[in-house]
Structure 1
Amino acid sequence: YLYGGIYPIQSQSVDNLGQALSIVFDIANPEMARSIISKTPYTPYGISSVYPQMPDIKPYHNDAVWPFVQAYWNIAAAKAGNILALNKGLAALYRAAAFFGTNKELFVASNGDYRGTAVNSDSQLWSAAGNAAMIFRIIMGMTFEPDGIRFAPVVPPSFTGEKTLTNLKYRNATLNVKVTGTGDRIKSFTINGENNDDHFLKGNVKGNIEILITMADNTIKPQEINSQPQAWMPATPIVDWIGYKGEIRNYSPGISYGLTVNSTFLDQITTPVATFIPDENYSLMDIVPVLKETWSGFSCKPFEYIPAGSLTVVNADKIGKTGTSFIKDKDKASRFIELSPQKNTDVTFKVNVDSGGDYLLDVRYANGEGPINTENKCAIRMLYINGQEAGAIVMPQRGIDEWLSTGFSNMLRIKLKEGVNELSLRHEIDNMNGTVNTALLQYVRIIRQ
């Protein structure tokens, strides 16, 4: 995945839910799918949500196995035909459920224990659903389609004996499904005693339905599995900038630092000082730590260079009526416009530029509706330029009641015409919360490219 703003860089860590979904939804072709499942590092207690891990961060998404992520990985492994990865993935789920006596939200990837995580819970629905899916979608091989159910079981050789699923309510029918044998090829398939070579149950069936699937006990050609101990990436750099020189405060000998400007890799340094060389263009410089040429960490916040004369700032008082009850100091409150589902749902203002062309736009805002690491109260507004939709402005919460803590939204690439342009921020999109969608707008930045 890419991160870092308007000039993104590629993360060198892996997101294993994203990888699994790319296989499940056929984004990865079969060769890619086999490569992903066989080469991705697989930690001892299951597939980590990400790999490698961030240092000094408690297990949650970091250093964690999420049963529902493991379930998607197992479905992807079955689809890719990697029976070793599937067997290990099923074992990871059943071990956790057996030892914990419940479907935990997650557990620590490096030691297999549910204790020590930032947050956790029993009887977590997505974990239970993931566990149930192993029966429905893998052992029974059921794919639910608009016109019925298609069956294609994948049964590892360790799962011998008879597997039964009884009293399954499906539309106007009750299903009892029995799978015998192992492998990924069906030897025989009957519905109420009648052979069915399509391995498909029509959706208009009624009453009690008995399905018997006999597997061919075929040997599935083993693929590789990349079992690895847990690994940690180097720490994200903390950089103090004075002018165009940045000192890496947490510099560590043995770690090199990759320098990237506007998505292009420039150089690698082994000293605690990075230097940015300005030119006439807006630029972002990322500093990525690399440990022993093996594990790359995350970049610090990019250094931002704005050439003289290219920045236009439109303050809140030029956009609309200022003031908010979220800030008690009236003088400070007058620096903001309150954007909520009830107030200023459509603010429109004008910007005059000397030349038409490509620009960048973001907003400085505050959102004190919740903490930075959880909840769902990110404020979202659609930006319109001269009546045309230009993209979404995203303003995540920055801390509980932190209405004076400001930061920048995402940045959009926009086009402006020479002279006067009309810009609008409109409340047209619901967030996950559905009710709370509030931010305080301090100013809008427009940067000529």
Structure 2
Amino acid sequence: MILKAVAATALLTSISAAAAVADTDGFVIWQNFIAFENRHAGAAVEKAGYRLDSNGTARTIPMQAMRSETASPIVDALFALAQVEADGAKTKALTDGAYNHGKPIACDCFVTGVKWPFVWTRDSAYSIDLGLAWLDPARSRRTLDFKLSDVREASAQQGLYVVQDTGSGGSWPISTDRVAWFLGARRLLDDKAFADKTYKALKDTLAQDKQYVFDAQFGLYRGETSFLDWREQTYPVWTEKNVRFIAESFALSTNVLHYEALRLAATMAQARNDAAAAQYRNEADALRAAIDHRFWREDRGLYMSYIGPADGPQTIEAYDLLGTSLAILADIPAPDRARKALANYPTWPAGSPVIWPEHRDAAIYHNRAIWPFVSAYALRAARKLDDGKRIAHELLSILRGAALSGSNYENYELVSGAVHVEDGKWSGPVVNSPRQLWSIAAMLDAVVQGVFGVDGDKIEPKIPAELVPMLFGTRNEIRLHLADRDIVLVKPAHFDQDNLLVAGETERKGKNVRVQLRSAEATPMALRFNSVQFAPDTPEIIPTAPKIADGSHAPVRFWLDGKPVQTWKPGSDQALKSVEIADTGALQSLWTTRVDPTSQLESLPGPIVRLGQFDDVGGAWPRTWTPTRDGRYQLRLGYENPHGPINTGVTAAVKTLAIDCGGEAKQSAPLVMPHTVAKDLSTAAAFTAKAGKKCTFTLEQGFNMSFLSRNRLYTGEQGGEKGPVNDADYGTLRIVPLP
């Protein structure tokens, strides 16, 4: 180890004077040496490969079959390192303490990371979409196939479904981003058997999500943000103990994934002469319009990460880079709005945070962090928009993180770019793993598509002129050697500093492709530095006597059904004794936020308090109740679900409530009952009734992830090897008129 450190120091000393060009943000664009936040990295070409020093620790990286040849040994070494680490992620057997009692499970596939030697749906899907599909298509198919399952219970709804992994409140349908699977699968459809299986899973999974997750009133799919699945990290802190808010909310990223799945379904159905193609296309078009309308926040020029339940807050100060990038890549916004959304998303010198604003009351993980795979999607979005500044920024962020840490780590602290920062109980990233699969894929994509512009059969480079010194140096051309092609990019003789270098004349001879770059004007879009980092703390109110509970000095705003009704300013003469609300008899929803008086940033919402004239209906099933007035009603079912912890498992209770109100058409709605830490109420169902006409309520079997055959191997909690569990301890039905 001492010898390695000495060698590393010598390496740094020998290359520290190499061509380094300072950029406008004060850090360094480099060829073979970088310095950032008192850390250094360097690389050099050796006879058999590369030597990479990462802040005093050196390693030799063997030359790989696929390689880049640029003026930057760091770029070339990191591309080789990604391939070495991808090889390290290959396995014949998976292990996880929550499956098969920790014993190996046969699977010739990719594992998620050094600390995650298993296959997880979203990690694998994003990784395959970003780069593993072309690196090892056969293994990628096997990896995805491991996350498909039929149903082990004959009485349950049959089909071939994508597995939603263990998660918040007992998994699906609190977490609903399993359709990310199809982002990866769409890259691998040249295999007919796999394509047919994909189409079957696509039809069945979309049908199931439409039944249990789709909200016809909003035109959106409910459920948690994709990948941002550590509740209190990104949702209000009180969701740590109650995830019903998450189950009833709508997430930008998860809805974009459903949109992409519907578009793929339409394409695959049309290719198979399936009449369902038109329906899928219509549903996709409607969903696209709903996403653009519901999530766009005009006063911020950003897409919100999520919005609340139908009777909750629809304007939330929460934004995330993955959702924004996926929306842009899916053509959800018109071009002008897309450019505005990316330009307005804040960034820091080390890179772009996966969420903004950050939260003081949460540790570093998703909060206050850069995740390279998300940066890779932001890089793709920037390329789509010809945003040269953002292309350079996200590309350098991906490269810098791996260079300084010596591996493709999962995440980095936002300000320092380090793999760990001490900050008391907020230290983190709380969990971090080297050789993380989607970070490996991000590096592959950063070089193959980010630098050379290769995406499938297309070669469309978009190199910011500011990166030419790093990538070309004194060279006239750079090269990429892939398994099926050798690509050469030739530098133009003249270009302006604000321009992009794009493909001009392209010559193809066999597997050799030669692209003459040309200078293209691009509309400059400045990066948004110097944003306020933290949101105000989330307030809490006590329903019986509203008051401020956390001692913050930011003003508190009270919201009633989405409209502000009162603001209380600490230290003022105004005494907060009560918030007066007229009793209409119908449902009213009250919550609070804090507002920073300087930045005007708003906190996440406090707990929702629901007011109205409620009827409680108990007894044996079926239960009956007679309304006293015509109209729409909301109901929730009291329950406790003790079948797993609040943060994991596969046993969220999911039932269908059949509603028969005499004279009305029969109605039904799903009721979701996540794992609980105390008595709670289910998700809401709305129905129509007439005064004096008795309504009968019947609770019918639904579906959860414990019904999947794949979860026979789940041994971490209930719902696994001993059979499906889809139940709860039921209380009364709580019914209230809707306005």
TM bucket (normalised to shorter chain) is: 0.7 to 0.9
2:568 aligns with one of 269, 290, 298: 269
What residue number does 2:481 align with? 166
CA pair 428-352 structure 1, distance change in 2 beyond 3 A:
farther
* Counterparts of 2:669 and 2:443, CA distance in 1: 39
* Counterparts of 2:610 and 2:639, CA distance in 1: 18
Q: Deviations over 1:206-256 (max 9, x none)?
A: xxx2222222144544211111256111111122233xx401122333x11
What residue number does 2:124 align with? none
Residues 379 and 431 in structure 1, CA contact (< 8 A), matched pair in contact too: no
What residue number does 1:298 align with? 604
TM-score scaled by length of structure 2: 0.48
> Which segment drifts farther, 380-389 or 284-293?
380-389
* Counterparts of 1:95 and 1:8, CA distance in 2: 39
Residues 355 and 419 in structure 1, CA contact (< 8 A), matched pair in contact too: no
What residue number does 1:111 align with? 416
* Counterparts of 1:221 and 1:20, CA distance in 2: 19
2:675 is the alignment partner of 1:366: no
Residues 5 and 411 in structure 1, CA contact (< 8 A), matched pair in contact too: no
* Counterparts of 1:267 and 1:360, CA distance in 2: 26
**Structure of greater relative contact order (alpha carbons < 8 Å, 6+ residues apart):** 2
Q: Deviations over 1:157-185 (max 9, x none)?
A: 214334433333xxxxx233333338353
Residues 398 and 446 in structure 2, CA contact (< 8 A), matched pair in contact too: no
What residue number does 2:543 align with? 241
Residues 657 and 697 in structure 2, CA contact (< 8 A), matched pair in contact too: no
CA pair 441-369 structure 1, distance change in 2 beyond 3 A:
closer
Counterpart code for 1:410: T
- Structure 1: any 5+ residue segments left out of the alignment? 169-173, 194-208, 320-347
What residue number does 2:463 align with? 155
Residues 288 and 298 in structure 1, CA contact (< 8 A), matched pair in contact too: yes
Give the deviation of 1:349 after TM superposition: 4.9
What residue number does 2:489 align with? 179
Identify the structure with the greater helix proportion: 2
Give the deviation of 1:369 after TM superposition: 4.3
Residue 318 of structure 1: SS of its match in structure 2?
A: coil
1:414 aligns with one of 687, 690, 693: 687
> Which segment drifts farther, 405-414 or 282-291?
405-414
What residue number does 1:393 align with? 671
2:698 is the alignment partner of 1:423: yes
Give the deviation of 1:5 after TM superposition: 5.3
Give the deviation of 1:75 after TM superposition: 1.0
What residue number does 2:389 align with? 84
* Counterparts of 2:667 and 2:513, CA distance in 1: 53
> Which segment drifts farther, 294-303 or 135-144?
135-144
What residue number does 1:93 align with? 398
TM-score scaled by length of structure 1: 0.77
* Counterparts of 2:440 and 2:735, CA distance in 1: 48
Residue 267 of structure 1: SS of its match in structure 2?
A: strand
What residue number does 1:199 align with? none
CA pair 89-177 structure 1, distance change in 2 beyond 3 A:
same
2:446 aligns with one of 130, 134, 143: 134
For residues 231-380 of structure 1, the aligned pairs below 5 Å read 231-242=533-544, 245-253=545-553, 255-271=554-570, 273=576, 274-280=578-584, 281-293=586-598, 294-307=600-613, 311-315=614-618, 318-319=620-621, 349-373=623-647, 377-380=651-654
Residues 651 and 705 in structure 2, CA contact (< 8 A), matched pair in contact too: no
Give the deviation of 1:393 after TM superposition: 2.5
- Structure 2: any 5+ residue segments left out of the alignment? 1-305, 421-427, 493-499, 712-718, 720-724
* Counterparts of 2:671 and 2:410, CA distance in 1: 32
Alignment: residue pair count: 385
* Counterparts of 2:376 and 2:364, CA distance in 1: 19
Q: Deviations over 1:102-140 (max 9, x none)?
A: 221211113221112222222211222222222333323
* Counterparts of 1:156 and 1:165, CA distance in 2: 18
Residues 359 and 414 in structure 1, CA contact (< 8 A), matched pair in contact too: yes
What residue number does 2:434 align with? 122
Residues 180 and 213 in structure 1, CA contact (< 8 A), matched pair in contact too: yes
- Percent identity over the alignment is 22
Residues 285 and 302 in structure 1, CA contact (< 8 A), matched pair in contact too: yes
Residue 638 of structure 2: SS of its match in structure 1?
A: strand
Residues 108 and 117 in structure 1, CA contact (< 8 A), matched pair in contact too: yes
* Counterparts of 2:634 and 2:352, CA distance in 1: 39
* Counterparts of 2:478 and 2:667, CA distance in 1: 54
Residue 68 of structure 1: SS of its match in structure 2?
A: helix
Counterpart code for 1:270: K
> Which segment drifts farther, 75-84 or 267-276?
267-276
What residue number does 1:9 align with? 314
CA pair 225-165 structure 1, distance change in 2 beyond 3 A:
same
CA pair 350-428 structure 1, distance change in 2 beyond 3 A:
farther
* Counterparts of 1:163 and 1:396, CA distance in 2: 54
What residue number does 2:221 align with? none
* Counterparts of 1:380 and 1:142, CA distance in 2: 44
* Counterparts of 1:213 and 1:414, CA distance in 2: 62
* Counterparts of 1:128 and 1:389, CA distance in 2: 49
Residues 463 and 502 in structure 2, CA contact (< 8 A), matched pair in contact too: no
CA pair 304-222 structure 1, distance change in 2 beyond 3 A:
same
> Which segment drifts farther, 125-134 or 215-224?
215-224
CA pair 141-112 structure 1, distance change in 2 beyond 3 A:
same
What residue number does 1:213 align with? 515
CA pair 93-263 structure 1, distance change in 2 beyond 3 A:
same
Counterpart code for 1:289: R
Residues 163 and 179 in structure 1, CA contact (< 8 A), matched pair in contact too: yes
CA pair 114-235 structure 1, distance change in 2 beyond 3 A:
same
Counterpart code for 1:300: G
Counterpart code for 1:179: L
Q: Deviations over 1:242-290 (max 9, x none)?
A: 3xx401122333x111111011222322147351413212111111101
Give the deviation of 1:381 after TM superposition: 3.3
Give the deviation of 1:445 after TM superposition: 2.1
Give the deviation of 1:4 after TM superposition: 5.1
* Counterparts of 1:79 and 1:277, CA distance in 2: 49
Residues 655 and 700 in structure 2, CA contact (< 8 A), matched pair in contact too: yes
* Counterparts of 2:378 and 2:685, CA distance in 1: 34
CA pair 43-7 structure 1, distance change in 2 beyond 3 A:
same
Residue 399 of structure 2: SS of its match in structure 1?
A: helix
